[in-house]
Amino acid sequence: MGSEGKAREELLELVRSLTERIRVDGELGKPLSYLSRGKVGAATAGGAGQGAAIAPSVTDAPRLEAVRAELGDCQRCSLGRLRHRLVFGEGSPQADLVFVGEAPGADEDAQGRPFVGRAGQLLTRIIAAMGLKREEVYICNILKCRPPENRNPQPDEIAACEPFLIRQLQAIRPRVICTLGTFAAHALLKTESPISVLRGRFHTYQGIELMPTYHPAYLLRNPAAKKQVWEDVQMIMKVLCEGR
């Protein structure tokens, strides 16, 4: 717990110092360019951003809805017949940060929402520790339908589903993508390197910064790995707040 508590404290300190910078910049009338899409930071800026042009784009939501409409009652792979609910994804169409997981589990299949089971609750706490709310980010998966017994996604299933993920990412155009676990990293980065090697540094996906990190379900089994995930999310926070 010791090093994990320390990492968490460091993250909270980072959030505090960024909040302070946003407040001071707001008071000095500096353009809050790092808030320019009106997303990350707005929740913690505490109204300091008066004068900053925060004009959320209205063009992204219809594009996402078009992707959902094209999926329809999808039967492009054999998982379609087995599902209760298709899990498209949820969150802000203007998100700066998109989390991409593997596939729905039983809870997600029942509710039609991503990351709502035990692993999802841990993801929600990680998002909160970043100073963000679930509604401010976007959360989705490589596969939209649950594989039986939560088995690994098969190549043909990924091939059928991935075009829709790509179009979701193109509609949102986030500044950072955070992939959760082995499958999401391998699917988007087209590599087979172990997640332990891939995580901890940014990769590029279609010009977007991509940080692979461990899956929250893995953290439930290996709590010691939370320290690395805190490191990864701190690097994400820096990119989101520095307006690189």
CB closer to ligand URA, 15 vs 184: 184
Count H helices and E strands in the chain, helices first. 9, 6
CB closer to ligand URA, 67 vs 195: 195
Cβ 71 vs Cβ 167: under 8 Å = no
In the list 26, 214, 232, 241, the residue contacting ligand URA (rule: CB under 6 A) is 214
CB closer to ligand URA, 42 vs 210: 210
In the list 218, 226, 235, 237, the residue contacting ligand URA (rule: CB under 6 A) is 218
Q: Is 230 in the site for ligand URA (CB under 6 A)?
A: no
Q: Give the Cα separation of 36 and 52 in Å (integer).
A: 8
Instruction: Name which of residues 161 to 190 contact ligand URA (CB under 6 A).
Output: 181-182
Q: Nearest-CA neighbor of 210 among 91, 114, 99, 132?
A: 99
Q: Is 26 in the site for ligand URA (CB under 6 A)?
A: no
| Shortest distance, position 19 Cβ to ligand URA, whole Å | 30
Two tokens, residue 119 = 């692993």
Q: Is 108 in the site for ligand URA (CB under 6 A)?
A: yes
For residue 209, give the 3-state DSSP assignment.
strand
In the list 35, 98, 103, 176, the residue contacting ligand URA (rule: CB under 6 A) is 103
Q: Is 101 in the site for ligand URA (CB under 6 A)?
A: yes
Burial 46-70 (b: 16+ CB within 10 A, else e): eebbeebebeeeeebeeebeebeee
| Shortest distance, position 108 Cβ to ligand URA, whole Å | 4
Q: Nearest-CA neighbor of 119 among 218, 23, 232, 1?
A: 218
User: Which region among 46-54, 59-67, 70-78, 211-219 touches ligand URA (by CB under 6 A)?
Assistant: 211-219
| Tokens 């949820």 sit on residue | 90
Cβ 175 vs Cβ 132: under 8 Å = no
Instruction: Name which of residues 135 to 154 contact ligand URA (CB under 6 A).
Output: 141
Two tokens, residue 92 = 């802000």
| Shortest distance, position 37 Cβ to ligand URA, whole Å | 25
| Shortest distance, position 130 Cβ to ligand URA, whole Å | 18
Q: Is 105 in the site for ligand URA (CB under 6 A)?
A: yes
CB closer to ligand URA, 49 vs 105: 105
Under the phi-then-psi rule, with left for phi > 0, alpha for psi from -120 to 50, and beta for the rest, what region is 147? beta
116 burial via Cβ count (<10 Å: 0-12, 13-18, 19+)? buried
CB closer to ligand URA, 28 vs 192: 192
Chain positions contacting ligand URA, by CB under 6 A: 101-105, 108, 114-115, 117, 119-120, 141, 181-182, 195, 214-215, 217-218
